[in-house]
Structure 1
Amino acid sequence: MANERNDMGSDEKDSAGSADTTRSLTAGLAFSDRMEALLDGRVTVAGASLDIICRPPQALFRSVLRDQVYDICEFSLGSHIATVAAGGSNYVGLPIFLSRAFRHGNVYVRADRGITTPRDLIGRRIGVMDFHQTAAVWVRGILADHYGVERSSIEWITGGLSAPVLEDRAPLDLPPSLSVTRSPQTLNALLEAGAIDALISPTAPALFVRGDPRVARLWPDHRTAESAYFHETGIFPIMHLLVLKRQRLDEAPGLPRALYTAFETARQFACADIAQRDYPKIASPWLMADRAQTLADLGADPWTYGTSANRTALEAILRYAEADGLTKRRLSPEDLFADVQGDDGLPPMDGQNGR
């Protein structure tokens, strides 16, 4: 999918954009159905042409923090919170939430250590890829809020999952009550050797994939736990957002609104596409049944963008980030998007801006 452009000539282009493009922008995105209409040209960005490069999320996140090679980029919400708290970066946040996921199913434990409940994690060593990885921020918050497992009761070990990563994604300035150590070994190796008792990872560890009985999910029936969490809190956790280079915002103040409109329209195309299909779009024989169950659990529009519709989730992760020491004060959702709404004259980025 690399280097595909969305300026294809077509009578079916959506009114979210215009074929009369005037500005070329590079966009680093992880592939998903929510941006497929931007890749195939059904949706364009008013006043701009996107050169979309699809890459794995971890590569995109480090690019934003270190290389700044993309004009717009998919980015970790946890890392965005940390950079805003540290005084900002070369990018500004847009309330376009490209990835969301429940994370109960991403906690793996050494079952042979007698870990069968969340409270069994107290006093243990837990591996995470980065301390401000968004998945880890959510899991730490859920463990503390719902199970009484405080962050300070855990020894946190950071490292690459299957290849060594010798430095943090971004500098950390954490309170002394938190123990965080980066390991030169991989988390997979540490889990296999028993050097960590548990692992928080969106990607299943190698031992679990191989069916090793020593490793299990903390919540074996994680879908039931996640559904219960949603019904209790109303939160479908946000993982990634879109960020825009400040230089491009300075050059074109209307660009955030154009991007929001285009990405919202592409999202609506994706939702409509699943609903209208009479054959599976992906290799899942029960795709439509899964969709029906998802809508029954979460409601008609769980992937919505904008700050107002997502205030509960944003306020929760900001509270968790403060407790993690990633922020020195409680940020508000408006702090995350302060450069693109309010006093800059743009309309609030909250409405339904699709077709």
Structure 2
Amino acid sequence: MSSPVIRLGLRDWDHLVPLVSGLVEIPGFTVRIEARDVTPDVLAEPVLDGGETSFSRYVQARAAGDDRLVGLPAFVMRGFRHRCVLVREDSPLRSIGQLAGARIGLTGWPDSGNTWTRALLRGAGVDLAAIRWRIGPLTAGETGKDRVGDRPLPAHVSVMAEGESLVDELAAGRLDALLSPFMPQELFTRTSRFRHLLDDHRAEERAYWEATGFVPGIHLVTLKREVVEAHPALPAALLTGLEESKRRWLDRRRLLADTTPWLLHELTESARLFGDDWMPYGTKCNAEMTRAFCEELYAQGVWPEPIDPDVVFPDPALAAVPAL
């Protein structure tokens, strides 16, 4: 009898390559991964059994009692957010605290990454309600993204007019800063009009790690409820396969480190700071990060009530990944 075919929609993260290429197999299942340019809406695509999902949107759904998606504590996208604040090259702003009362654009209000970035402002004592927030695409012409969510926006948050973009508004001086999980291509040139707010965001991120013990989770892998009910062994098996793929990828990168000029340095420095795994999978090792994120969604008004972090990953079988 052939194995059930499980179709997942995921962006082409490097650590998924061993799974995509077949070097890693999921016992009892045939996993097919469709590479996506943007994060898919898993529930809206009948051909998908699961895929990459916004942590924010998933947590809000679970808080509302919507369990149509079963989240795996496998955060395929993680990252510090200090680097995500951009200003003009000639801006006098140099610290998070200086953003008090500023005009700030961002790529989406309920987004996971932007929620984590706003948490940095709260941590620096900045009143989020005193910020004049504007929501819009990073660059002109970007479409296909829900930037607002299902709940009413706060009074101090507005949506840009069609045709406007964050980079254009920042360049014109109508914004003081912008928040974006992805950088505009211009930033990678020698003549960029923009720079990171923090002169040494890496030092700030290291301090954040030392204070919290986690790198913020942005996107996770989810499965449709009906798929899990039909194949109860799938969540744990897939979590294990994702872990093996990540481990194989890291081993290969440490061997084939000449893909960027200083990748070897980054790998060795990361290992010394974070240990063997800076992006661990499993409910238990992500419990503190999950709790902190639930608190931020409520504190920032993204969600109207406190969220019990236990509703996010209720399956005890996903508490930890078995040793490989």
TM-score of the two chains, using structure 1 as the length reference:
0.83
CA–CA distance in structure 1, aligned partners of residues 197 and 224 of structure 2: 39
Q: Residues 201-212 of structure 1 correspond to what in structure 2 (within 5 A)?
A: 201-211=180-190
Given that 2:42 and 2:49 are in contact with CA atoms closer than 8 Å, whether structure 1 keeps it comes out as no
Correspondent of 2:135 among 123, 133, 158:
158
**Amino acid in structure 1 at the alignment position of 2:34:** I
Q: Cα 1:164–1:300, aligned 2, differ >3 Å: closer, same or farther?
A: closer
CA–CA distance in structure 2, aligned partners of residues 23 and 182 of structure 1: 45
In the other structure, the counterpart of 1:44 is 25
CA–CA distance in structure 2, aligned partners of residues 60 and 336 of structure 1: 20
Q: Cα 1:181–1:251, aligned 2, differ >3 Å: closer, same or farther?
A: same
CA–CA distance in structure 1, aligned partners of residues 187 and 250 of structure 2: 32
**Partner secondary structure for residue 146 of structure 2:** coil
Q: Cα 1:126–1:255, aligned 2, differ >3 Å: closer, same or farther?
A: same
Given that 1:174 and 1:324 are in contact with CA atoms closer than 8 Å, whether structure 2 keeps it comes out as no
Does 2:273 correspond to 1:297?
yes
Does 2:321 correspond to 1:352?
yes
User: For each residue in 1:58-109, what CA deviation from the matched residue of structure 2 results, as whole angstroms up to 9, or x when unmatched?
Assistant: x224x23644542110112122223323442632211111121111111101
Correspondent of 1:321 among 297, 300, 306:
297
In the other structure, the counterpart of 1:255 is 234
In the other structure, the counterpart of 1:32 is 13
CA–CA distance in structure 1, aligned partners of residues 321 and 149 of structure 2: 37
**Partner secondary structure for residue 195 of structure 2:** strand
**Amino acid in structure 1 at the alignment position of 2:31:** L
Q: Cα 1:166–1:114, aligned 2, differ >3 Å: closer, same or farther?
A: farther
Q: Cα 1:168–1:238, aligned 2, differ >3 Å: closer, same or farther?
A: same
Q: Residues 52-67 of structure 1 correspond to what in structure 2 (within 5 A)?
A: 52-56=33-37, 59-61=38-40, 63-64=41-42, 66-67=44-45
CA–CA distance in structure 2, aligned partners of residues 325 and 114 of structure 1: 30
Q: Cα 1:176–1:53, aligned 2, differ >3 Å: closer, same or farther?
A: closer
Correspondent of 1:236 among 194, 197, 215:
215
Offset at residue 266 of structure 1 (A): 1.4
In the other structure, the counterpart of 1:79 is 57
CA–CA distance in structure 1, aligned partners of residues 190 and 100 of structure 2: 26
Given that 1:105 and 1:220 are in contact with CA atoms closer than 8 Å, whether structure 2 keeps it comes out as no
**Amino acid in structure 2 at the alignment position of 1:267:** K
Offset at residue 299 of structure 1 (A): 2.0
The alignment of Structure 1 onto Structure 2 pairs a total of residues equal to: 322
Which is worse superposed, 327-336 or 284-293? Answer: 327-336
User: For each residue in 1:297-338, what CA deviation from the matched residue of structure 2 results, as whole angstroms up to 9, or x when unmatched?
Assistant: 222221110111111211111111111222222223321123
Unaligned runs of 5+ in 1: 1-19, 342-346
Q: Cα 1:48–1:319, aligned 2, differ >3 Å: closer, same or farther?
A: same
**Partner secondary structure for residue 318 of structure 2:** coil
Given that 2:71 and 2:221 are in contact with CA atoms closer than 8 Å, whether structure 1 keeps it comes out as yes
Correspondent of 1:271 among 241, 250, 253:
250
Q: Cα 1:42–1:99, aligned 2, differ >3 Å: closer, same or farther?
A: same
CA–CA distance in structure 2, aligned partners of residues 318 and 266 of structure 1: 28
Offset at residue 169 of structure 1 (A): 4.3
Given that 1:318 and 1:330 are in contact with CA atoms closer than 8 Å, whether structure 2 keeps it comes out as yes
In the other structure, the counterpart of 1:9 is none
**Amino acid in structure 1 at the alignment position of 2:62:** V
Unaligned runs of 5+ in 2: none
